[in-house]
Amino acid sequence: MKKSHWIISPSVDLCCISLGWLVFFAAPYLLPDHGETFRLIAVTSFVAHRYFTFPLVYLDRIEFERRRLIYLITPVLCLGFVAMCYYFRVEEPEMFAFWYLFNYFHFVRQKYGILRIYSGKGQWGHKQLDAWTSYLWGIAGFGYLFAFQANVEGRVMHYLHTLIGTPLPQVGAQAIYVAAIAVTIAWLIYEFRGAQINWPKLLFFASVAFMYGIVPILSSDALFTATSFSHAAEYIALVALTVHNKAKLDAFASPVLTRAGKHIVPYTTGFIVVVSGLLYGLKFLSLPIFLVFTYGTSFMHFIYDGMIWKLRRPRVAREVGAAMSDGR
């Protein structure tokens, strides 16, 4: 039977991974009056998605025992760091500048990881070219914002100014675009040398190039909304896939996660609703505690993601279908 090149299924890949985010770009860009509604949905999804990481760490005894000490002290360090920032009144803009840079890098790194999964599904791909194309387009979008929109009012520009200081020369941003295009040409040549054309992978890459190469030129506000939803939708879909695959193999040392894996849609939906409700309730009860908790757990999410989603670990690669038969 011919192996599918889709990570999950055509409908899920198209909606959650490749094209769904376009709605959250096009609506705010073309219908500014409705931009706030889409922004609210995107931000709610984005805030909720990070909490999918914690059951994979704390409810899976095998994973938790693998790095018990780190998983115990990281919450104290992250929440303590954010609390100290607020206590010493340096939350604006130092911590947020740091947090924004982490987020942007985190978004682009996830795109690279998904590209590697598609390479594994098609059993064809060049690791270095996948990396260079993903990161160069990500840097191109960042460079454009800072070189050409440095004077635009808004929190993002404020963070970038604080983080870097002097704006990037415009010629520098243009040079990054040229490098991204050149590497993309090399990447396409390599991809079309494969035995079969991996169209889902090409479609996903086109969406990445458009997101970071074109969208920043059109609207930085729409970019924020689109990337927030895109990152959250990708992550939730991959977590659902991993939990489902582990449950089929009885690979969890956790009855809760095993049950969730066998009823993935209702459990995923319910988790988003419960987490969102709790966060909005916490915000209503105490804004300072809400801010410390959300930003602290955000840093925890960054750290844990780098620990549990290493595709070079054969078990992780198999769970998302990214294993390469020849190691490319």
Does position 146 have pLDDT exceeding 70, yes or no? yes
pLDDT grade, residue 306 (50/70/90)? Answer: confident
Q: Per-residue pLDDT tens for 210-229? A: 999 999 999 888 888 999 99
Mean pLDDT, rounded, for 182-189: 97
| pLDDT on residue 164 | 67
Entry pTM: 0.88
Q: Identify the band that residue 207 occupies on the pLDDT scale cut at 50, 70 and 90.
A: very high
Q: How far is CA 278 from the centre of its chain?
A: 22
Count of helix runs (H) and strand runs (E) in the chain? 17, 0
pLDDT at position 99 over 80:
no
The CA-atom distances, in angstroms, between 66 and each of 36, 62, 282, 301, 310 are 42, 6, 32, 17, 14
Segment 101-113, tens digit of pLDDT = 778 888 999 999 9
CB atoms within 10 A of CB 199: 12
Residue from 318, 321, 103, 323 nearest 232 by CA: 103
Asked whether residue 19 carries a pLDDT value surpassing 90, the answer given is yes
pLDDT in tens, 114-143: 999 999 888 899 999 999 999 999 999 988
Considering the chain, what is the average pLDDT of its residues?
A: 86
**How many angstroms separate the CA atoms of 301 and 168, rounded?**
30
Q: Exposure of 62 by Cβ count < 10 A (0-12 exposed, 13-18 middle, 19+ buried)?
A: exposed
pLDDT at position 94: 64
Give me the mean pLDDT over the 2-10 stretch: 85
Interhelix angle 127-148/155-164, rounded to 10 degrees, is 100
In degrees and rounded to multiples of 5, residue 26 shows phi and psi of -65, -40
